[in-house]
Structure 1
Amino acid sequence: MPSHVSADRPAAQPPGRGSVEALISQTRRLRGDVDAVRRDTRGDGSDPRDRWQRALYDLALHQLNDLDEHLAQLRDGPAPPAPDPETGPAGRSAPADLPHGALLSRVGSAEWNLLTDEASWSGELYQILGRDPAAPALTLDELPALVLDDDRPGLTAMVTACLVDAQPIDGEFRVQRSDGHVRTVHMMGEPVLGGDGSTASMWAVLRDVSELRRSQRTVRETRDSMPGRRRGERAARTAAEPREAAPAPGRGALRMPRRGPGVLDVAARHLPSGSGSLPGGDWYDALDLSDGDTLLSVGDLTGHGVAVASGMTMLLGAVRGMAMAGAQPGQLMTMLNQLLDATVQPALGSAVCCRYRPETRALSWAQAGHPAPLLFRDGTGCVLSAPDGVLLGATSGAGYGQAEVTLEPGDLLLLHTDGLLPGHSAADSLDRLLGLSPRFGAAPTAQDCVGAVIEEFGESEREDEACVLIARVSE
């Protein structure tokens, strides 16, 4: 790429090799776990629900394989440029073409110089588009010749918006390769500005997502073959199961850890939307960690439906795995952002994660575009001062701060997602939550405190679902 300034952000520095190796190890462990569960799935294929489950496992494995390949490419660095048609190959040759139906997960890149009308493609892009590496790279005017007629207007609109309005490119189109196969290509790019502020070139990364889209179609088709009621019940169960890591109503509260100083009395509740719509991506969690600390977290992945519930499950699993491995909240948020940034489907999420050490009652926490925890002490509530943190998946390479606070016996911590108060602003929700301080002080248990929140805000008739988690330090 040339040394122009990017249209919306400076070039990010590559991550350290060690941190990428750690992410690769985590991804491979998670992939092994998913594959083990998939292989243990029983059924002869006659039950539509079993077929849908297996298709969803296959899709998850495709995505984890892709993530593994991308992290490996990030570790190893970019491949050598494609050979010049006149001077011959430069460095090693482009990788051999994969058979039709294989998962093409390596990323190709391209740059189109508007001042010289020259194009530069990586070796992977020649492979993805089925072009002869010895042939010249196609210019922006020539590129639509590879695209199916129905998709050309969309590609033209994306490129025009990028060059004229400096808008980033993020979209898909289908190409007809020289071998006759039609492939679906996902393209992301940005304009690059020259010294005078005008658009000097456009760069993009492109990848073949055909097999992933095929897997997603299989999931949709097997889901649609299920009776409507069973599908709705299964979707709701898929979304609810991860949330039940913390106690549900009627199951009592948790003591975390079970004994010793600084024990937390923990209770939580998921509040569904009143419309009966598909489940969303809200979650809560409470987990004793191997070093004696306790993890408390709530979060929200944007959107609704089975795919979002599946993504939420992946995100919650990543939170648990990284926390169990010793990641502190700020580092954990950074890695979650990298995980969402690497997924095939763009996704946004918010979260707050707390790590509590019972021996010292020290609470470390970080947030990603999420409401800060509320602390209630001696009859008064306040909002904890939030460290820096943008939405997960919003910005590549984002950093996340971490805050520390020492809790006292009798302190109460409240975490929640932002759909708690239907039809009111976040400020109104906050005022009403802080106004519950006297009731919290009189409540004997965390479960009773959750009950006070439900009485105040209602259990149904909200536009979006919500979660609330309360932890009180034993006296």
Structure 2
Amino acid sequence: MASHLHADRSAPQPPDRGTLDALITQARTLRGGLDAVRRGAGGNAGDGAGTDPGVAGADPRTRWQRALCELAVHQLDDLGSQLDQLREGMPPEAPRAWPTADQPPEETSARTPGAAYGTPPASHHGKPSQLVGRVGSAEWNLLTDAVAWSAELYRIFGRHEEDGPLSLDELPSWVVAEDQPGLAAAFTDCLVDGRAIDREFRLVRPDGSVRTVHMVGEPVLDDEGSTASMWAVVRDVSELRRSEHAVRESRDSLQRERHIAQTERRVAVELQEAVLPPWRGSLRFPHGDERTTGALDLAAHYLPSASSALIGGDWYDAMELPDGAALLTAGDLTGHGVTATSGMAMLLGAVRGMALAGVEPGALMGHLNQLLDSSAQPSLGSALCCRYEPRSRTLTWAQAGHPPPLLFRGGVGSVLRRPEGVLLGVTSGATYGQRTEQLRPGDLLVLHTDGLAPDDAPGAPTGRGPGSGTPRQPALHAGSARMLRLAARFGAAGSAQECVRAVAEEFADREREDDACVLVARVTP
């Protein structure tokens, strides 16, 4: 059989792409408008301020407006990047988030330098402005050593106004040791080379809490072009950075989970393809002279679930035994993924081994039940095992909570009466009966697992399924009910492979939640 599974599938595109496109357009429009405001905040010739940093005469209000515009530009750039990543799917790098919070930024201990990047509170329902954080301003006059701080800057530093502002020499001592060299270099570049400051650092407040702040500053030049003072706008971005860290952790965790799931699926697919018979077209038992009376024309098909997310423990098998008989079997083990497929491989190997040893179907089911019951990882399973004698055209079969075989004869389908048998692994020491059916030339036998259709499928008789009905009046499985409606197509088919094709067309259901297997055996004339 050709490969019926694919280990990898493309990730689906994120929903509401049109809505995201509209948001991206709005963000770009807002970004353009902000650029115009920023140019206006840079001043004009009339007020003595220029658009370039460090122009002499820029008043504090203009510098404040320009700094706020710079901070807003940073936020809009981040937002645009986030929306682009959301539209395209999971980004290759950690996204920058702009969530909301309903509480003030959570303070962290100074004992751990990286604590300012801790996980944010689990619930965020507040206003976006709360995440933006407090914004304060400062100016250091290099000629008079005067320092001016806004009231909000004192609150950011956790410092009392009566204690006065910090000088440029005192400020680095409030910064986490790892960030001090970078801050000192930024001050030197600003005061000596006239470069603007745009930097983040972590400061340690008197109460021991650590805050992450973003500083934007510029030198103020005198009429001779020398640096007279330095001003800065400082924003508390602690909560924002914690939220970004949480987003990165969530993204990394999601990628790890996807990788694990993809790897598990690939292993499960490879294991299942290695165990299930790789048939291509029909198979004939017994092999050899095609004129053999009572030979079987065989074909099988695996039907994946609608989602194809995980591989189940369904199996089918057909094998010619040493005495000329044929083994036909189908089954299903609970669960999905590698655990289910490895358990399926164990059961199928046990079935083959016992059948080769001449164990009858009923006794074989008892041994399988004991095997599952004593397994290190207990699970439940259903199984169907048939032994076909081509010379006498007799079918001896047993089942363990499994849908019984369907027999199609003369264009009419029927369900074979089930012998006694409970699900594998339900109880220790369970006994399993077996029945013998006399087949005729042209008869068609269909074995399937219970994932073909949900039990509440339209038109299907009600009932709990084959594992719960009594041997005399078993509930008809929904998949069996739909299969019986294919009797006319089976009757007109010229081979078992054509019958399998009809089954694949009938059960190509998008809503099927589980995978399934079908094995068709046709008694040749």
Q: TM-score, normalised by structure 1?
A: 0.50
3-state SS of paired residue (1:352): strand
Residue 329 of structure 1 aligns with which residue? 361
Is 1:280 paired with 2:312? Answer: yes
Residue 146 of structure 1 aligns with which residue? none
| Counterparts of 2:374 and 2:257, CA distance in 1 | 28
Residue 243 of structure 1 aligns with which residue? 276
Residue 228 to residue 437, structure 1, CA distance change in 2 (3 Å):
closer
CA deviation after TM superposition for structure 1 residue 460, in Å: 4.9
Is the contact made by 2:264 and 2:338 (CA closer than 8 Å) also made in structure 1? Answer: no
Residue 398 to residue 230, structure 1, CA distance change in 2 (3 Å):
closer
- Which moved further from structure 2: 252-261 or 452-461? 452-461
CA deviation after TM superposition for structure 1 residue 244, in Å: 2.3
Is the contact made by 1:379 and 1:437 (CA closer than 8 Å) also made in structure 2? Answer: yes
Residue 439 of structure 1 aligns with which residue? 489
**Alignment partner for residue 292 of structure 1, among 324, 327, 350?**
324
| Counterparts of 2:284 and 2:401, CA distance in 1 | 29
Is the contact made by 1:271 and 1:459 (CA closer than 8 Å) also made in structure 2? Answer: no
**Alignment partner for residue 296 of structure 2, among 264, 270, 282?**
264
Deviations 1:389-431 (A, max 9, x none): 0000101000000100111000000000011024625544332
3-state SS of paired residue (1:467): strand
CA deviation after TM superposition for structure 1 residue 225, in Å: 12
CA deviation after TM superposition for structure 1 residue 345, in Å: 1.5
Residue 463 of structure 1 aligns with which residue? 513
Alignment of 1:88-99 (within 5 A): none
Alignment of 1:378-389 (within 5 A): 378-389=410-421
Is the contact made by 2:403 and 2:480 (CA closer than 8 Å) also made in structure 1? Answer: no
Deviations 1:261-299 (A, max 9, x none): 211000000111121222110000000011111000000
Residue 283 of structure 2 aligns with which residue? 254
Deviations 1:15-56 (A, max 9, x none): xxxxxxxxxxxxxxxxxxxxxxxxxxxxxxxxxxxxxxxxxx
Is the contact made by 1:279 and 1:304 (CA closer than 8 Å) also made in structure 2? Answer: yes
Residue 417 to residue 427, structure 1, CA distance change in 2 (3 Å):
closer
Is the contact made by 2:407 and 2:443 (CA closer than 8 Å) also made in structure 1? Answer: yes
Residue 136 of structure 1 aligns with which residue? none
Residue 290 to residue 459, structure 1, CA distance change in 2 (3 Å):
farther
Structure 1 stretches of 5 or more lacking a match? Answer: 1-222
Residue 317 to residue 427, structure 1, CA distance change in 2 (3 Å):
closer
3-state SS of paired residue (1:382): strand
Code of the aligned partner of 1:455: E
Residue 416 of structure 1 aligns with which residue? 448
Alignment of 1:49-448 (within 5 A): 229-244=262-277, 247=279, 251-258=280-287, 259=289, 260-422=292-454, 424=457, 427-448=477-498
3-state SS of paired residue (2:414): strand
3-state SS of paired residue (1:414): strand
| Counterparts of 1:369 and 1:420, CA distance in 2 | 16
**Percent of aligned positions with the same letter in both sequences?**
58
Residue 427 to residue 339, structure 1, CA distance change in 2 (3 Å):
closer
Code of the aligned partner of 2:423: L
| Counterparts of 1:445 and 1:243, CA distance in 2 | 21
Question: Considering only aligned residues, what root-mean-square deviation do their CA atoms show, in Å?
Answer: 1.9
Deviations 1:175-233 (A, max 9, x none): xxxxxxxxxxxxxxxxxxxxxxxxxxxxxxxxxxxxxxxxxxxxxxxx98977645432
Code of the aligned partner of 2:268: A
Q: How many residues align?
A: 249
Is the contact made by 1:340 and 1:347 (CA closer than 8 Å) also made in structure 2? Answer: yes
Residue 230 to residue 347, structure 1, CA distance change in 2 (3 Å):
closer
User: Which entry has the higher C-alpha Rg, 1 or 2?
Assistant: 2
| Counterparts of 1:270 and 1:459, CA distance in 2 | 13
| Counterparts of 1:397 and 1:243, CA distance in 2 | 29
Deviations 1:116-157 (A, max 9, x none): xxxxxxxxxxxxxxxxxxxxxxxxxxxxxxxxxxxxxxxxxx
- Which moved further from structure 2: 294-303 or 457-466? 457-466
Is the contact made by 1:239 and 1:280 (CA closer than 8 Å) also made in structure 2? Answer: no
CA deviation after TM superposition for structure 1 residue 243, in Å: 1.9
| Counterparts of 1:434 and 1:229, CA distance in 2 | 37
Is the contact made by 1:361 and 1:407 (CA closer than 8 Å) also made in structure 2? Answer: yes
Alignment of 1:31-46 (within 5 A): none
3-state SS of paired residue (2:334): strand
CA deviation after TM superposition for structure 1 residue 433, in Å: 1.0
Deviations 1:83-130 (A, max 9, x none): xxxxxxxxxxxxxxxxxxxxxxxxxxxxxxxxxxxxxxxxxxxxxxxx
Residue 293 to residue 460, structure 1, CA distance change in 2 (3 Å):
farther
Is 1:473 paired with 2:523? Answer: yes
Residue 463 to residue 358, structure 1, CA distance change in 2 (3 Å):
same
Code of the aligned partner of 1:462: R
Residue 310 to residue 224, structure 1, CA distance change in 2 (3 Å):
farther
Is the contact made by 1:236 and 1:278 (CA closer than 8 Å) also made in structure 2? Answer: no
- Which moved further from structure 2: 440-449 or 423-432? 423-432
3-state SS of paired residue (2:319): strand
Structure 2 stretches of 5 or more lacking a match? Answer: 1-255, 461-475
| Counterparts of 1:225 and 1:239, CA distance in 2 | 21
